[in-house]
Amino acid sequence: MFHSAALKLTVWYLAIIMVISLTFSVSLYQVSSEDLGRNVNRQLTYFNNFLGPQDLNNYSNLRLRQLNNDLKHLRANLFLFNAFVLIGGGAASYWLARRTLRPIESALAAQSRFAADASHELRTPLTAMQTENEVALRSNNLTKKQATELLKSNLEEVGKLKSLSEGLLRLAGSNQTDNLNDSVPLKDVVSKAMQRFSKTAAAKHISIDNKARNFNVRGDADSLTELISIFIDNAIKYSPSRSTVILKSWSRDKTISLSIADNGQGIAATELPYVFDRFYRTDNSRTKNQAEGYGLGLAIAQKITEAHHGHIEVSSLPGKGSTFIVHLPAA
């Protein structure tokens, strides 16, 4: 598909180049032939005063032959020039067409990879529900207890599907933030995000030590709460029980920074560059830790941060812990 699009674009680029080149050549030929013709006429008028009719006739024939030769030369040169433009322009047009299409090509590839990953993740809970329901339907003496268990499990899977679809919607951008210029007190968004996870943290006996000082950040309060929630959620998910998550903040050069540090499982240096990719989960999270998630949180965090003209830094030591620092513009 992209090959034929590149060829079509090449033809268009080349057509434009050739129209310009041919127009230039025709104009040059006209101007030059008129100039040369005028020159010959001037010379003939001048020699008319000195030469007899026979000599003048001979000289005029000679000059006209020379003029024709010059014009033939010019036509040949212009032909060569246009042939060169056609070949060189064709190659340059194809290169330009490929270059123009490359970002579209990779965006399309990323989109289909995203759709494939999303479908794969959606299929897992759906298959689990389907299997459980089929087994239950086949059983002749389903007890009330078993039915309740089945409904609970179904609800759990529905919950997963809901959180996955919310994540997908967030990434697809259909939940756009619009008031990115509000002055948002950092302490408000931090405490809102902490409240969301107070129960999960308590269940794992994890204490969240909030040392973040208050600064005003430029952005959207709800999105910033979501952003900080993602880091706190991960810090709790990927930390052992009875550990501590520490939040700190500082201000430098009109930038407010917030760090979220944990003493959890950490991320291997080889995996660190990929944690912001959609659907990426480290080997540790998929296997040993078994923490729930789809690998969308950090991709969403990245998207929110970029929309706020900020950036995220991460440092981590496997087995020691991770620190995520988000830098945002001050209000």
Tell how strand 321-329 and strand 255-261 pair up. Answer: antiparallel
What b/e readout covers 244-267, taking b as 16+ CB neighbours within 10 angstroms? ebbbbbeeeeebbbbbbbbbbbbb
- Tell me how far, at minimum, the Cβ of 266 lies from ligand ADP, in Å: 6
Binding span for ligand ADP by CB under 6 A among 142-150, 186-194, 250-258, 288-296: 288-296
Instruction: Identify the residue among 125, 219, 293, 310 touching ligand ADP (CB under 6 A).
Output: 293
Q: Cα 40 to the chain's mean position, in Å? A: 65
Q: For residues 85 and 190, which CB has a smaller minimum distance to ligand ADP in the complex?
A: 190
Q: 228: closest CA among 241, 212, 251?
A: 212
For the record, the structure tokens of 185 come out as 């007190």
Total residues interacting with ligand ADP, rule: CB under 6 A: 23
Binding span for ligand ADP by CB under 6 A among 2-10, 58-66, 98-106, 289-297: 289-297
Q: 314: closest CA among 300, 330, 296, 302?
A: 302
CB atoms within 10 A of CB 150: 18
> Considering the rule CB under 6 A, would residue 125 count as an interface residue with ligand ADP?
no
For helices 221-237 and 297-307, the axis angle rounded to 10 degrees is 150
**Cβ-based neighbours of 289, under 8 Å, separated by 6 or more:** 237, 238, 265
> Considering the rule CB under 6 A, would residue 294 count as an interface residue with ligand ADP?
yes
> Considering the rule CB under 6 A, would residue 197 count as an interface residue with ligand ADP?
no
> Considering the rule CB under 6 A, would residue 296 count as an interface residue with ligand ADP?
yes
- Tell me how far, at minimum, the Cβ of 283 lies from ligand ADP, in Å: 8
Q: What is the largest CA-CA distance in the chain?
A: 130
Binding span for ligand ADP by CB under 6 A among 24-32, 139-147, 191-199, 257-265: 257-265
> Considering the rule CB under 6 A, would residue 234 count as an interface residue with ligand ADP?
yes
> Considering the rule CB under 6 A, would residue 281 count as an interface residue with ligand ADP?
yes
Residues of the shown chain interacting with ligand ADP in the complex, contacts defined by CB under 6 A: 230, 234-235, 237-238, 262, 264-267, 275, 280-282, 285, 293-299, 322
